[in-house]
Structure 1
Amino acid sequence: MKRVTDADVERASNEATDWLILLQEEPDDAELRQRFDEWLKARPENVSAWASTQSFSDMAALLPAVREAGAVTKTPAAGAQVSPMSPRTSARRWAMPALALAAAACLALWTGPAMLLQMRADHVTGTAELRQVDLPDGSRVILAPASAIAVTIADDQPGRRVELLSGEAFFQVRPDPARPFRVRARDVETTVLGTRFDVRLGSDDVAVSVEEGIVAVATAGAPIENAARLVAGQFVRVASDGLSTRGSEQPELVAAWRQGQLYAQETRLGDAIDQLRRYFGGTIVLTDGRLADRRITGAYNLADPEDALRGMARVHGAKVRRLTPWLLVVSAS
């Protein structure tokens, strides 16, 4: 018996996805159905791939992506574009019946938090969009994709405050000894006078990394003498339970997303995928919690989030299935 290789499995998986689309597009085509039956019987891996594809297709109906309408978005630093769905792809009838009702059901769940975020935020970015924000005090913020901030800076106020509501942001703070600059992300507050640093909201932690200068990181409201002091090339991750992890990296790697790169250093795969989701105009599903806890180290190109995802998964022998142009599923096998 011929040994089934990883390449055979990958080929069968891709072909199964193609067959799913074709059969949904032309359900009454007898010749197409006959060719499908012949393909299904040709190799044992085809049977397995088809069963898995049908299972994931059912999942797709429960996990529709809410896509942003509009034009192509750009990552300015990398100069890369993320193109919208092609007319032919968007017209594929197979996705519509199964996903329309699910999209309607999920829309209320999605729009509620999104509307609240929009109401609180002063500046917001969309998928794969970077935006530079010049603040009234002369400081500058670069917002990562799918991020939002609320700004409280006025001449008649003693302090300068920015709240990171979602995503990630890089701050270049104009020095002013009389007016400390504070960035709050959940219960974590970073205080500076003048420096360059990055703050990221993870699913279960807040990460602060310093490119230049010194920052103090503490739980909001805690005495400043209890704060963790970070200098250039240092970072701290504060988990939701209050535990913190410190480390170091090359300063030039801080907020590498500005150059279209994601650098992972012993990072949980689940956390890396969370970051990648901000660059993919759809949904990425990770089916295995144990896989999410695996660690990865490497550099990944944010201009091609699907290829980056496949590279991350490959480290631990995981598989990435593309069920639609906007749905990727990561599984252990």
Structure 2
Amino acid sequence: MKWIKRPAALWRACRHDSKMRFAAPAARHDTMKTPENHRDASREMLLQQAWQWLRVLHSGVASAEDARGFRQWVHASAAHQSAYQEAKRRWDRLKQPAGALLQSQADLVGAYEHGLRGRRAFLGAAASTAVVALVAVNYSPWGLWPTSSEWRADYRTGTGEQRAIDLGEHVHLTLNTRTNASPQVKGHEVVGLDLVSGEAAIELTLSGQPFFVRAGVGSAAAAYGQFEVRHVAQQVCVSCIAGEVHLSHPLGGKTLKANEQVIYDAVSVSRVNAVDPQVLSSWRRGLLVFKQTPLGDALDEINRYRPGRVVLVNAAARTKNVTGHFAIASLDLALIQLQHVFGLKARALPGGLLLLS
């Protein structure tokens, strides 16, 4: 399992692969040490770096290490600060067509600028503390930053990442993209998982003590077999792959058998429904499978696996159905295909925002 790597001395150019790794811009401090006739080129390079930093700060995976890197970069010289301010002015002009859709992102960048002006907050001497203050909230529009519960999770995966974990000899766990979870321990044994957000697949290789996954107000448990729990946007989906899964919920319990699932939230529980085994667990095979899925829902799912945000502003297209198999490693190609099929126009904006109209 490869994690996001952000070297402190030199930030490599960002690139995308099957792990969807995202790196911050270069942070060399000798950028402005150029001859007189190269000043224009140097300023253009700084502007490009400033744009990259703005994307990092809006990527949804910005960390305390990113904060330190940005602070080092922006305070390297007056030219760096000037380039950032110029990039931000252009950013503001470009985001106007998106209107309220970008308000949350504008607020986030404003927090960074406040720290820059006051040499306090998240860019000052208390940078790491301010980062915690910034992300330790219980509301995160579009998932731009972790909530307080997600920040405290023991297990975390970033955008496009998956992580395999062995919880004891007979419990195998696979975490999908943007997942935050913590093990539940009784004595010296891990007996369950608290799934704060995201998606987890659990494989129990030997029948024994029930292993539970708590998500929202409910809890799913099994003594053997395989099951998955998905906790996204305050809604939880429990799917049984093999064996039996028992759901506990304030409104009543349910029992699921292979290829069955149930969906619940804080105020309701669905009936037990059959699920297509070809769709179930497709993410573990590196695929997103849609069968008569509304385009709006399909794009919401794609957004979980790639940096930035795709926003569908064509209301008429939102309910049109999508059927197909899309490789998680090639979601930009999938977006091009969807644009062609539904006759959509794409407009790229700063911060990795893509408007489809």
TM-score (norm 1): 0.63
Question: Which residue, 270, 274, 289 being the options, matches 2:300?
Answer: 274
Give the alignment's Cα RMSD to 1 decimal.
3.5
2:277 equivalent to 1:251: yes
Name stretches of at least 5 consecutive residues in structure 1 with no aligned partner.
Answer: 1-67
Which residue matches 1:165? Answer: 196
Task: Note closer, same or farther for the CA distance 1:251–1:126 as it changes in structure 2 (3 Å cut).
Answer: same
Q: Is the Cα contact below 8 Å between 1:264 and 1:272 reproduced in 2?
A: yes
**Superposed, which structure 2 residues align to 1:135-150 within 5 Å?**
135-136=167-168, 138-150=170-182
Amino acid at match of 2:337: G
- Residue 131 of structure 1: how far off its partner (Å): 0.8
d(CA) in 1 for partners of 2:234, 2:318: 13
Cα shift readout 1:82-130 (whole Å, capped 9, x = no counterpart): 4647877545577543448654336689623326134431100111111
d(CA) in 2 for partners of 1:252, 1:302: 16
2:218 equivalent to 1:188: yes
**Superposed, which structure 2 residues align to 1:145-156 within 5 Å?**
145-155=177-187
- 3-state SS of the aligned residue for 1:167? strand
d(CA) in 1 for partners of 2:337, 2:261: 25
Which residue matches 1:104? Answer: 109
Which residue matches 2:242? Answer: 212
Cα shift readout 1:176-219 (whole Å, capped 9, x = no counterpart): 44x21111221232121112122112325222222222212342
- Residue 309 of structure 1: how far off its partner (Å): 2.9
Which residue matches 2:115? Answer: none
Cα shift readout 1:301-329 (whole Å, capped 9, x = no counterpart): 21122222343455544333223472211
Which residue matches 1:287? Answer: 313
Q: Is the Cα contact below 8 Å between 1:196 and 1:211 reproduced in 2?
A: yes
Which residue matches 2:258? Answer: 232
d(CA) in 1 for partners of 2:267, 2:207: 33
Task: Note closer, same or farther for the CA distance 1:136–1:80 as it changes in structure 2 (3 Å cut).
Answer: closer
Amino acid at match of 2:89: P
Task: Note closer, same or farther for the CA distance 1:81–1:121 as it changes in structure 2 (3 Å cut).
Answer: closer
**Superposed, which structure 2 residues align to 1:1-333 within 5 Å?**
70=6, 82=21, 84=23, 90=49, 95-99=87-91, 102-105=107-110, 111-113=135-137, 114=146, 116-136=148-168, 138-155=170-187, 160-177=191-208, 179-203=209-233, 205-219=235-249, 221=250, 226-227=253-254, 229-239=255-265, 241-244=267-270, 246-288=272-314, 291-324=317-350, 326-331=352-357
Sequence identity (%): 25
Cα shift readout 1:210-241 (whole Å, capped 9, x = no counterpart): 2222212342x455xx31x2222222333554
Name stretches of at least 5 consecutive residues in structure 2 with no aligned partner.
Answer: 7-11, 27-44, 52-82, 93-105, 113-130, 138-145
Which residue matches 2:74? Answer: none
Q: What is the total number of aligned residue pairs between the two structures?
A: 255
- 3-state SS of the aligned residue for 2:329? coil
- 3-state SS of the aligned residue for 2:186? coil
Q: Is the Cα contact below 8 Å between 1:125 and 1:147 reproduced in 2?
A: yes
d(CA) in 2 for partners of 1:317, 1:149: 39
Task: Note closer, same or farther for the CA distance 1:97–1:74 as it changes in structure 2 (3 Å cut).
Answer: closer
